[in-house]
Amino acid sequence: MPELPEVEITRLGLEPLINYRVSKVVIRNSSLRWPVNKSLQKILIGMKLINLKRRGKYILAEFPNGTLIIHLGMSGHLCIAPKDREIKKHDHVDIVFDNVGHKIVRYNDPRRFGCILWTEDNPLDHKLIKNLGPEPLTKDFDGEYLFQKLRKRSVSIKNAIMNSCIVVGVGNIYASEALFYAKIRPQRQAYKVSKYEVTNLATSIKDTIENAILKGGSSINNFFDVNGNNGYFQNEHQVYGRKDKPCILCKNPIQQITLGQRSSFYCKNCQK
């Protein structure tokens, strides 16, 4: 699943389309996680894209009369394509913009777990968004906040920081990486992690996500940006996907376990 850095990179890649108008919408398959509103083929025509924001893993494409709420799901991606680009399998939705060579924003999603929803209300009040926790890169997320949220939770620390009601966007890859930098084992119960350790963890989460955005995200499971370019943060993974490979610090083999039905990676020597 694309995580926060990959979604932010996608949002940034779409920014050149701001202030251009929609000339056409094509919906080939409306059966995503929730049905795509087929009226978008009329609603968006002639409307100018006025802003692009992100909340957690949701891209918010703002138009004068409403907002498209876009989630990439497990396998979705958005690309900017020329108007004559060949239509591929799983190319479900096109939004064509005029005055930029009729560039197309194309949504492709093999597993169809993503969504493209239209709302004329405040998108931050939408049921999918209103209960989300703070953004990890804002001042609202720090060691004190995280410690207060974790101090009574008995779940594993990794599952806790992947809870979007506590903090948004810390998916499986970046949770594993941040815990390594904070030297905390992913299976430790959250309430047993000291305030000092939690403060380090909050900092590690920020640093890991910022670095991933800078490096273009992690291009695993076929992630690429809107122009088809791969990220290269996967080349800097310290533990994720490195089962049995030597730890970069102590050379002991990286361990793999399952937590919450997700693969977790850690160094049993460096992480306590």
Catalytic residues: 2-3, 57, 262
Cβ(94)–Cβ(15) under 8 Å?
no
Q: Count of H helices and E strands in the chain?
A: 6, 10
3-state helix, strand, coil in the chain (%, to 5): 25, 25, 50
Of the candidates 201, 195, 199, 167, the residue with the CA atom closest to the CA atom of residue 182:
201
**SS3 state at 23:** strand
Q: How far is CA 97 from CA 25, 119, 158, in A?
A: 9, 20, 41
Cβ(205)–Cβ(174) under 8 Å?
yes
Q: How many CB atoms lie within 10 A of CB 241?
A: 15
Of the candidates 185, 187, 193, the residue with the CA atom closest to the CA atom of residue 268:
185
